[in-house]
Amino acid sequence: MRPDAEERALRRARWAITAQIGVVVSLLVAVAGGIAYGMLLSGQHADADRTLARTIQLGPGTTPPGCVWLFTPAGHAPAGTPPAGMPLPALTATVPSPGDVHTERRSIGGMTYTIRVENRGGVVSQAYFEEVYQIQDRSSLLFGLGVAEVLALLAALVCGRVLACRAIRPLADALRRQRTFVADASHELRAPLTRLHTRAQLLARRASSRDAADLDQLVRGTRELGEVVEDLLLSAQACDRPSLEPVELGSLAEEAVAAEAVRADQSQVRLAVTRERRPYVVQGVPTALRRVLSALLDNALGHTPPGGSIEVWLGLPDERHVELRVRDTGVGFPAADAERIFERFARGSDGDGRRFGLGLALVREVVTGHGGTIAAAGRPGAGATFTLRLLRADPV
């Protein structure tokens, strides 16, 4: 990851942590406010019910508390003109038998009332509790909760930002140290590799025809290693990624097979390329794709016993893609590991404890970065096949 991309990722992480802390604090305040509001509302309703029950019990001979009206067949209290709409004759039918009680909340004339209708010994009484002050209390509580929510959110964002910066700082320092190490190591390796490559070229020019092929492979290997170091140096610096260019995948496959020919002979493994004599051009970075092929061949050689074979096959599955397969007759792997082998240092699931290492994980990262796909298939003892598919640079 380049420095600017790393900084963007760290910035996003800081804001994500800040937002998460803000959301959590806001939810906590909202939950606490909801509990407080619910307790206030329940208490107000219970108090209104008790007041109305006591008012009906005392009857119209006693002046009811403020904001309460009592209506009985004998009259109403307090004296004077009651609010319009009271009493409600239809509510009498809700308590047909002695001992029946009916309670509800209803809006009358734009005001909310708690209404209690009770049948006491055949006498139906209606008591009304005006909730004007209770509504004001609830409104004040909601306003206070809103202010508390805003203040808590602001405080959470400030504290979250501070905590996020402190939490991310070690990661930023680690990334900075890693980038510095890669840059320093790449810079120190570049000079000796250049000298090694130059001396290999001189030896190749002076060598006899019998040794020329081996020395040419040495020259090609030192050049590839220098390209890897150069890529690391460019990546460590704030440079743009290499631009994609047309790459003839068939030629890269043949070069990779030729580079591993000596190792394959020593391991008594047959190594060959199967392709039509036509271009297999894809858009990519040559050095990165060369490392992909090298890693796939290295993996195949490491798991193919003497007498086995490895085939690199190229073809055009459709008009838009180039497909490359590396098929070996090695030890294979369980089908359950087809995805896990691309994880870093994953272990096999068949109980042998075999680790797949880092190479295949890097292969998938490079292929995915090129907009391609890679899949693995195999069976224990029946070999493995890795299928790489990339977009063609010259689609029909």
Instruction: Using the CB atoms, write b or e for 364-387: b if 16+ within 10 Å.
Output: bebbeebebebebebeeeebbbbb
Which pLDDT score is estimated for 350? 46
Which pLDDT score is estimated for 104? 94
Which pLDDT score is estimated for 5? 64
Neighbours of 328 (CB within 10 A): 26
Which pLDDT score is estimated for 163? 85
State which fold the 242-391 domain adopts: Heat Shock Protein 90 (3.30.565)
Using DSSP's 3-state secondary structure scheme, residue 314 falls into strand
Which pLDDT score is estimated for 13? 85
Which pLDDT score is estimated for 359? 67
What is the Cα Rg of the chain in Å? 41
- The list of the chain residues with pLDDT below 70 reads 1-6, 179, 181-191, 193-194, 197, 207-212, 219, 223-224, 226-243, 344-359, 394-396
Closest by CA position to 304, among listed 296, 313, 292: 296
Q: Could you give the CA distance from residue 268 to residue 291 in angstroms, rounded to a whole number?
A: 23
Which pLDDT score is estimated for 318? 86
For residue 371 the two structure tokens come to 């907009």
pLDDT digits (tens, 9 = 90+) for 78-93: 988 888 889 999 999 9
How does strand 123-130 pair with strand 111-120?
Answer: antiparallel
